[in-house]
């Protein structure tokens, strides 16, 4: 028997953060909404076991990221469709800064987008990201470093001084 | 004006926060309604996701259960036929359902004394069927791709008799799935004209390929073994081939959790063969009823075109 109440609590407590994460990774509001709902749908289907998971939010992040990666592949297949069906429905106008960042992030490899999002949105340390990604700490450092350098090149107004000062050691 | 990266992420978060989220009970209800949908690829996801992004798309090729794509089979035959336009990106008028006298979509026999129809040499847009309104997602793509899944090392001698082939991908939804939701499945749909009298060779080649490949492991698909077998094809067109592909579905813990099923049907109508290869969507399995219904539409559209 699956406990709907505990599922709903997890949803209310984490869905918003996951939506931010999905948006940071995909750069698209509709995609992010789809991914988050799909991740939670999958979580509910196996809630009997997942409810005992020590870190269900991390599990959901993995699913969101995996689906996002999958979508990127599908987008190649469906790009003609996207051009035919036009842009997604109107979304509230995001702030200019948010738009600039999203545009720049789209030009980064997926791993760098995900690592940056985990660091800036979830305040995760390099070690925590490495644990979640199951990769060496050095790999995460490289993702973050390269991602920031690329963003600095793409966003001339980005404060590179502070960026370096805040860099992960 | 200078900005810090953390500030930009805050702006991004604010933009995301403006988006609506469904209520949790709706998410649960949707998940239950789609209980047939397998949990796609999450075993792989846990193991490889962020770590796996280092190796990129290779991972996700297998994660949705779509069989890896072999070299494009959409190569034209001996005639330079790709100069014709690809399938229309806008839906053509719905195909009429098969008439009662031809429930399987078999084209009516030519009237005695009437001039035999000329063999077709090019495939018009109207030869491509339109999904039932309740199944439409509006997602269709003309991206090239193979007409058939990999079947061990099968080759198809009949490919040398291809006159023209056109194909598309199209996503469908179940009638109960609300508009705007993720599709429930997708097809690779192709139509191929063969030289007169050669289309039956194509189906023979396909039957043999399935028989010769009862089991296989596909590249980029983990260690799953796919099992193939011919099924009773039903009555469609002049003749048809139906086969299934089955592989264990692995849950989040890497444990087998049911099976993933793909259905592929090829139907011959005169010198034309149409193939519907159900490819699912993020791990969904093909359902015979849906594939049957769409096959009828596919055949009807071709019959309409040819006659």
Measured between beta carbons, which residues in chain B are less than 8 angstroms from residue A85? 138-139
Measured between beta carbons, which residues in chain B are less than 8 angstroms from residue A24? 9, 12, 16
Q: With bands split at pLDDT 50, 70 and 90, how would you rate the model's confidence at B254?
A: low
**Residue at B151 is within a domain:** yes
pLDDT tens sequence across B71-120: 222 322 222 222 223 333 333 333 333 333 333 333 333 333 444 457 78
What letter does residue A106 receive in the DSSP assignment? T
Q: Is B216 on the interface with A (CB under 8 A)?
A: no
- In sequence order, which residues have a C-beta less than 8 Å from that of residue A161 and are 6 or more positions away? none
For the domain covering A93-169, report its CATH number.
1.10.10.10
CATH number of the domain at B299, please.
Answer: 3.40.1000
Helix, strand, coil % in chain B, rounded to nearest 5: 30, 20, 50
Tell me which of B179 and B150 has the higher pLDDT: B150
Q: What is the CATH T-level fold of the domain A1-91, as seen in this structure?
A: Rna Polymerase Sigma Factor; Chain: A (1.10.1740)
By mean pLDDT, which of A49-58, A119-128, A149-158, B90-99 is the weakest? B90-99
Helix/strand/coil for B168: strand
**Are B253 and B43 a contacting pair, CB within 8 Å?**
yes
Q: Is B55 on the interface with A (CB under 8 A)?
A: no
Cα–Cα distance for residue pair B92/B264, rounded to 1 Å: 24
Q: Is A103 on the interface with B (CB under 8 A)?
A: no
Mutate to test the interface with B, among A41, A75, A151 (most CBs of B within 10 A): A41
Residue in A66, A80, A132 nearest the CB of B41: A66
By mean pLDDT, which of A31-35, A76-80, A114-118, B8-12 is the weakest? A76-80
Cα–Cα distance for residue pair B251/B240, rounded to 1 Å: 34
**Residue at B242 is within a domain:** yes
Measured between beta carbons, which residues in chain B are less than 8 angstroms from residue A73? 57, 60-61
The pair of structure tokens assigned to B282 is 């993020």
Report which of B23, B207, B148 is spatially closest to residue A36, judged by C-alpha positions.
Answer: B23
pLDDT tens sequence across B238-251: 999 999 999 988 65
Give the residue-averaged pLDDT of B52-56: 26
Question: According to the model, what pLDDT value does residue B135 have?
Answer: 95
Q: Is there a contact between A19 and B17 if contact means CB atoms under 8 Å apart?
A: yes
Give the residue-averaged pLDDT of B25-52: 50
pLDDT tens sequence across A87-122: 444 444 555 777 889 889 988 888 899 999 999 999
By mean pLDDT, which of A10-14, A67-71, B106-110 is the weakest? B106-110
As a whole number of Å, the CA-based R_g of chain B is 22
Tell me which of B210 and B44 has the higher pLDDT: B210
Question: According to the model, what pLDDT value does residue B51 have?
Answer: 28
Q: Is B143 on the interface with A (CB under 8 A)?
A: yes
Cα–Cα distance for residue pair A49/A51, rounded to 1 Å: 6
Q: Is B69 on the interface with A (CB under 8 A)?
A: no
Mutate to test the interface with A, among B1, B7, B8 (most CBs of A within 10 A): B8
The pair of structure tokens assigned to B52 is 């796996």
The pair of structure tokens assigned to A38 is 């799909």
Cα–Cα distance for residue pair B224/B260, rounded to 1 Å: 11
- Say what percent of chain B tops pLDDT 90: 45
Residue in B2, B34, B145 nearest the CB of A159: B2
Domain boundaries, given as residue ranges, for chain A: 1-91, 93-169
Distance separating the N- and C-terminal Cα atoms of chain A:
46
Instruction: Decide if pLDDT at B70 tops 50.
Output: no
Q: Is B57 on the interface with A (CB under 8 A)?
A: yes
**Are A68 and A110 a contacting pair, CB within 8 Å?**
yes
Cα–Cα distance for residue pair B136/B77, rounded to 1 Å: 31
Between the alpha carbon of residue B302 and those of residues A37, B42, B83, the distances in Å are: 39, 40, 21
Q: With bands split at pLDDT 50, 70 and 90, how would you rate the model's confidence at A158?
A: confident
pTM above 0.80, yes or no: no
Q: How many domains does chain B have?
A: 1
Question: Which residues constitute the domain of residue B142?
Answer: 62-106+119-306
ipTM confidence score? 0.82
Measured between beta carbons, which residues in chain A are less than 8 angstroms from residue B15? 23, 29, 92, 94-95, 98-99, 102
Question: According to the model, what pLDDT value does residue B34 have?
Answer: 64
Give the residue-averaged pLDDT of A29-55: 86
Between the alpha carbon of residue A101 and those of residues A163, B154, B296, the distances in Å are: 14, 48, 48
Helix/strand/coil for B94: coil
For residue A169, the distance in angstroms to the closest alpha carbon of chain B comes to 17
Give the residue-averaged pLDDT of A137-152: 93
């Amino acid at each position: 028997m699956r406990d709907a109440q505990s599922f709903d609590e997890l949803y209310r407590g984490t869905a918003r953060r996951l939506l931010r994460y999905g948006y940071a990774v995909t750069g698209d509001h509709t995609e992010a909404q789809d991914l988050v709902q799909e991740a939670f749908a999958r979580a509910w289907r196996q809630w009997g076991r997942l409810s005992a998971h020590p870190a269900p939010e991390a599990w959901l992040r993995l699913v969101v990221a995996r689906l996002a990666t999958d979508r990127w592949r599908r987008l190649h297949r469906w790009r003609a469709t996207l051009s035919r069906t036009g842009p997604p429905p109107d979304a509230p106008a995001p702030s200019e800064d948010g738009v600039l960042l999203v545009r720049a992030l789209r030009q980064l490899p997926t791993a760098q987008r995900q690592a940056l999002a985990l660091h800036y949105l979830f305040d995760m340390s390099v070690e925590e990201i490495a644990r979640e990604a199951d990769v060496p700490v050095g790999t995460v450092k490289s993702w973050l470093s390269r991602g920031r350098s690329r963003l600095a090149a793409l966003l001339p107004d980005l404060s590179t001084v502070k960026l370096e000062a805040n860099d992960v050691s | 004006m200078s900005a810090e990266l953390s500030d930009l992420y805050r702006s991004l978060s604010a933009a995301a926060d403006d988006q609506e989220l469904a209520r949790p009970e709706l998410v649960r209800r949707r998940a239950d309604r789609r209980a047939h949908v397998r949990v796609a690829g999450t075993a792989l996801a846990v193991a490889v996701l962020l770590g796996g992004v280092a190796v990129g798309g290779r991972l996700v090729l297998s994660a949705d259960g779509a069989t890896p794509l072999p070299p494009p089979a959409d190569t034209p035959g001996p005639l330079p036929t790709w100069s014709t336009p690809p399938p229309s990106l806008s839906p053509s008028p719905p195909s009429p359902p098969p008439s009662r006298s031809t429930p399987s979509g078999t084209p009516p026999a030519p009237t005695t004394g009437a001039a035999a129809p000329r063999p077709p040499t090019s495939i018009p847009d109207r030869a491509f069927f339109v999904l039932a309104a309740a199944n439409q997602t509006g997602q269709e793509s003309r991206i090239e791709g193979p007409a058939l899944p990999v079947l061990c090392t099968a080759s198809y001698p009949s490919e040398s008799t291809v006159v023209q082939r056109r194909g598309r991908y199209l996503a469908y939804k179940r009638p109960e799935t609300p508009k705007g939701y993720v599709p429930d499945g997708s097809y690779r749909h192709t139509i191929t004209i063969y030289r007169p009298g050669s289309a039956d060779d194509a189906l023979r080649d396909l039957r043999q390929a399935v028989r010769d490949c009862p089991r296989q492991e596909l590249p980029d698909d983990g260690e799953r073994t796919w099992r193939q077998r011919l099924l009773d094809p039903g009555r469609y067109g002049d003749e048809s081939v139906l086969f299934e592909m089955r592989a264990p579905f692995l849950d989040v813990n890497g444990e087998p959790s049911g099976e993933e099923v793909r259905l592929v049907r090829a139907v011959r109508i005169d010198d034309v063969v149409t193939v519907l290869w159900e490819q699912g969507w993020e791990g969904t399995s093909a359902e015979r009823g849906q594939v049957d219904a769409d096959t009828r539409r596919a055949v009807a559209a071709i019959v309409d075109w040819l006659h």
